[in-house]
Amino acid sequence: MGGQPCKISEEGRQVMEIPFLDLKEQNRSLKTEILSLWEDILDSARFIGGEHVSKLEEEYARACTVDYCVAVNSGTDALRFIFLALGLEPGHEVITVPNTFIATTEAISQAGGKIAFVEIDPGTYNMDPANVEAAITSRTRGIVPVHLYGQPADMDPILHIAQKHSLWVVEDACQAHLAEYKGQKAGSMGIAGAFSFYPGKNMGACGEGGAVTTNDADLASKVRMIRDHGQARKYFHDMEGYNGRCDALQAAALRVKLRHLPAWNESRRRNAQRYLDMLKDIEGIILPEVADYILPVYHLFVIQAYKRDAVADALKQRSISTGLHYPIPLHLQEAYEHLGISKGSFPVTESCAEKLLSLPMFPELTEEQISYVCESIVEVTARL
């Protein structure tokens, strides 16, 4: 097992410890550069706003091929501020998917909107455009496709439906930094895109962070005000806003990381290809479908496994950590009991929630580690 750390399992076999995500290597390689920028910030005592925040906004806007980027405190704030800036009001409905992290729908509700779920596509796990039109009512204002696991949703039909019904489209790109759909960057296709810089994301802060991307100058300036107590000029408040700013320490670290993001995404694609090659034609395993016009960034590499929980347990026995994204669909969460959506309403999402299994994925994962994970999966599924 080469240079990888090994130990002996309870069954007496040699196992390799594979974390689900390991940020330590990445942090080690960037430590000197980030610490030197942080030292300058400490010396200047300029912690809020300043050059690093505005430079991050310029550089991330350029990377996403949009005119404006507004750095905020989290991906959740990015979504919430977009909805508020778009003038969402009580009773307005927003269409999204039940297979996502709750932040997508929290932001809709917290901005005053009503959540309307549509079923996902069984191959990509993203919004199925074929289901969207039936969910539109006179109260619908927008559609929020989520580019889940780093794969953009099928945007052309979604944008077409939105245009036909005069709705806006906001991309939840929190898991899709620099992913592409037909050559267009995630976060550049709808009226706005929301990104998360949570530490575990493809580009993660050393704390919380997020960003709004848009080509709409008016929307960008509204989000800019909402993130800072509704003011564009200190103590002149046009509206009530929030404290949702991105701080200088995070912005400086994110600027360093942005330079490495394309290479990290490339490594994730290489790792995903290894998984795809080694796990193809394995009975009991379904691999993700990616259309040839999509450039995914594999925030997560998610397979479907029959007897998923038993597979995850058996992998754990071999010191392989896995994740579940997401084990309970949003419409069945206690938080959404008041929506009155019963089990069976979204059968594709519900079936996926029982079978989806996220395998270890990060840029520094080695070929040897991936081989060990795949060999273990083959062995385990054959036995189960």
Ligand X SMILES: Cc1ncc(COP(=O)(O)O)c(C=O)c1O
**Closest distance to ligand X from the beta carbon of 148 (Å):** 6
CB of 196 to ligand X, least distance (A): 3
Q: Binding-site residue total for ligand X (CB under 6 A)?
A: 14
Enclosing H/E stretch for 43:
helix 24-44
The residue sitting closest to ligand X, measured at its beta carbon, is 75
Minimum Å gap between C-beta 269 and ligand X is 19
Please report the DSSP string for 249-295 in residue order.
Answer: HHHHHHHHHHHHHHHHHHHHHHHHHHHHHHHTT-TTEEPPP--TTEE
**Is 75 an interacting residue with respect to ligand X (CB under 6 A)?**
yes
Which one, 196 or 250, has the nearer CB to ligand X?
A: 196
Q: In angstroms, what CA-CA distances link 43 with 47, 248, 255? A: 10, 12, 19
Taking CB under 6 A as the criterion, which residues in 100-159 touch ligand X?
100-101, 103-104, 146
Question: Considering the complex, what minimum distance in angstroms separates the CB of residue 119 from ligand X?
Answer: 17
Q: State the nearest-atom distance from the C-beta of 22 to ligand X, in Å.
A: 18
Q: By CB neighbour count within 10 A (0-12 exposed, 13-18 middle, 19+ buried), where does 157 fall? A: middle
Whether 308 contacts 326, CB under 8 Å:
no
Residue 49 CA to residue 39 CA, distance in Å, equals 16
- Give me the least distance between CB of 151 and ligand X, in Å please: 12
Q: How far apart are CA 171 and CA 146, in angstroms?
A: 6
**Closest separation between CB of residue 146 and ligand X, Å?**
5
**What's the gap between Cα 367 and its chain centre?**
25
Q: Which of residues 201-260 bind ligand X (CB under 6 A)?
A: 210
Helix (H) or strand (E) holding 171: strand 168-172
74, 105, 126, 322: which one binds ligand X (CB under 6 A): 74
Q: Report if residue 198 touches ligand X, rule: CB under 6 A.
A: yes
Question: With contact defined as beta carbons under 8 Å apart, do 181 and 294 qualify?
Answer: yes
Site for ligand X in 177-196 (CB under 6 A): 196
Please give the Cα distance from 174 to 193 (Å, whole number).
Answer: 8
Render the burial of 8-31: b for 16+ CB within 10 Å, e for the rest.
Answer: eeeeeeebbebeeebeeebeeebe
Which of 96, 151, 175, 369: binder of ligand X (CB under 6 A)?
175
For residues 148 and 315, which CB has a smaller minimum distance to ligand X in the complex? 148
- Residue number, 112 or 207, with CB nearest to ligand X: 207
Report the candidate in 165, 208, 210, 161 with the shortest Cα–Cα distance to residue 187: 210
Looking at the Cβ atoms of 109 and 376, the one nearer to ligand X is 109
350 lies in the binding site for ligand X (CB under 6 A): no
Rounded to a whole number of angstroms, the minimum distance from the CB of residue 29 to ligand X is 23
Stretch that binds ligand X, among 10-18, 169-177, 290-298, 332-340 (CB under 6 A): 169-177
Among 263, 264, 261, 251, CA closest to 34: 251
Q: Report the residue from 108, 174, 220, 365 that binds ligand X according to the rule CB under 6 A.
A: 174
- Out of 93, 172, 228, 247, the only residue in the binding site for ligand X (CB under 6 A) is 172
Cα angle 341-347-284, degrees, rounded to a multiple of 5: 145
Which uninterrupted H or E stretch holds 214? strand 210-214
From 73-81, 137-145, 279-287, 340-348, span contacting ligand X (CB under 6 A)? 73-81
Residue 300 CB, shortest distance to ligand X, in Å, is 9
**Strand pairing report for 14-16 and 6-8:** antiparallel
Q: Which residues bind ligand X (CB under 6 A)?
A: 74-76, 100-101, 103-104, 146, 172, 174-175, 196, 198, 210
